[in-house]
Amino acid sequence: MRADYVIVGAGSAGCAMAYRLAEAGKSVLVIEYGGTDAGPLIQMPAALSYPMNMARYDWGFMSEPEPHLGGRTLVTPRGKVIGGSSSINGMVYVRGHARDYDHWAESGADGWAYADVLPYFKRMESWHDGGHGGDPSWRGTDGPLHVTRGPRNNPLHAAFVKAGHEAGYQVTDDYNGAQQEGFGPMEQTVWKGRRWSAANAYLKPALKRDNCDLVRGFVRKVVIRDGRAVGVEIERGGKIEVIHANAEVIISASSINSPKILMLSGIGPASHLSEHEIEVVADRPGVGQNLQDHLEVYFQFAAKQPITLYRYWNLFWKGMIGAQWLLTKTGLGASNQFESAAFIRSDAGVEYPDIQYHFLPIAVRYDGQAAAEGHGFQAHTGPMRASSRGEITLTSADPKEAPRIAFNYMSTEQDWIDFRKCLRLTREIFGQEAMAEHVKHEIQPGVDLQSDDELDGFIREHAESAYHPCGTCRMGRRDDPGAVVDPTLRVIGVDGLRLADSSIFPRITNGNLNGPSILVGEKASDHILGRDPLPAANEQPWLHPEWQVKQR
């Protein structure tokens, strides 16, 4: 088994690279441990809570007990299926804010400023606004990734946006265009009623070519000879074998598995590798460090009117919705139901949004259990740029063992200040006139929780991961001791090895990470092929003209 490029992981970035490298005429082998994405549980957008909780599709990772969240262990789902986490995620599409990428460039990721990445976002997208507004000049028209908007038929979507406007915030018709800040429609990777994962968008078209193949196997480590990656050691059918790369090995196995594979291959903090008697090939102390995520709470309200999705929360209606979707790919089954969104700034002096809202016209847990007391609705919300950092380390030198995942959430005082502020601003938004005919009462946190201590207790007990882990193999200049990859995504200290997925993010981006993860694969493929990057964009993103002195 041999190819020009061996890609480890058929996830968001891996699928994009397979497509672009194969399109350029290179031979590509993609190694994926997970199985097929066939079937309605993955392909039906409204069924999103199922695959995330199934051992068949999810690696089943758990965090260490989180010291600042009362010792809770949090589930850390990652896709174990073709398409990776894009096959089990909530399908929300957010590019991130322009300033996120400018910060990357300022921190040493040369060539990754917003002007540099915007052309790649355009290249990867086929954008369909569905008549809901937005500026087409900021968007792509013929890329593999279809981006759409839900129908927003439920009156609660309009009420949420109106409440934001009444509270004094901006309204934006495209948070992925010139102006992220404000309230407006949410976008989803759904096309013709189906989940438009990286597998559907990129991998399946790539596999139709003669020069791209998928290998099912469990990756144990990268094979390195004389300082150069020459292949990948995998286990399949009970046997261990090596798949050889003529040009390069590319790891895109997620922010959890990529650092693990590097460490098992001898690339990582020397002292930690020595603990596990792994021979050190490259001492890179940054491998597994800088772990970031978004933490959020579900702010829930009981509804005055029976207009929420709760009326479909029974076996009869679930069966009807499923049947309609199977036959026609239309109806409630064809949306993830996240159809309205908002991005706001928490304070004057904050340059760009640092709080996100996913609005959902039902009150329910993310795992699809326990629709709270009948009719209700909720906003998922939390700060976007926490200062806490965690780490991924090896449990042992056995590749079969899951790594140790310590997020270290809420470990700084600033994170608590920011989260309390987020909860109070949310309460104010739902207290506006537009929501008066809909809000019966606050289910969670509950109006009796008002003081800092009471809100802190709620956060400690109820905050959940938004499932956006990243940053564990961060990109930086070659002379930066904490960097793992350089701005062309070469692993520093080893030849013939690149890494491209959400682990390279120097800092987490605003919003959901699937879009930025695919972007990394798109841009990486040009670096791998030795092509000049796409010409930088000239568009100027909108910033609140009075951000220094006004919160809204």
Binding residues for FAD: 81, 89-92, 219
Q: Is the torsion defined by CA of 350, 354, 360, 365 positive or negative?
A: negative
Helix (H/G/I), strand (E/B), else coil: 105: helix
Cα(227)–Cα(225) distance, integer angstroms: 5
Q: Bridge-partner residues for 21, per DSSP? A: none
Judge residue 433's burial from the number of C-beta atoms within 10 Å of its C-beta, 0-12 exposed, 13-18 middle, 19 or more buried: exposed
Give the H/E segment covering residue 528.
Answer: helix 514-528
Calpha distance 471→190 (Å, rounded): 27
- Residue 149 CA to residue 473 CA, distance in Å, equals 33
Report d(CA 274, CA 463) in Å as an integer. Answer: 36
Distances (CA, A) of 375 to 148, 304, 358, 432, 536: 27, 8, 18, 20, 48
> Which of 380, 378, 379, 384 is closest to 346 using CA atoms?
384
Coil, strand or helix at 415: helix
Quick one: which H or E segment has residue 247? strand 239-251
97 exposure class (CB count in 10 Å sphere: 0-12, 13-18, 19+): buried
Q: How many C-beta neighbours within 10 Å does residue 28 have?
A: 27
**C-alpha of 60 from chain center:** 17
Asked about 358 being catalytic, the answer comes back as: no
Q: For residue 133, which phi and psi values (nearest 5 degrees)?
A: 90, 180
Enclosing H/E stretch for 259? helix 254-264
Longest dimension (CA), the chain: 70
Question: For residue 472, how far is the Cα from the chain centroid?
Answer: 14
CA angle 143, 149, 153 (to 5 degrees): 160
Alpha-carbon span 231 to 128, nearest angstrom: 41
In three-state secondary structure terms, 387 is coil
Residues ≥6 apart with Cβ < 8 Å to 484: 259, 262, 284, 286, 287, 473, 474, 475, 476, 491, 492, 499, 503, 504
Selected catalytic residue, list 97, 103, 358, 468: 468
3-state secondary structure of 146: strand
Question: Which residues are known catalytic residues?
Answer: 468
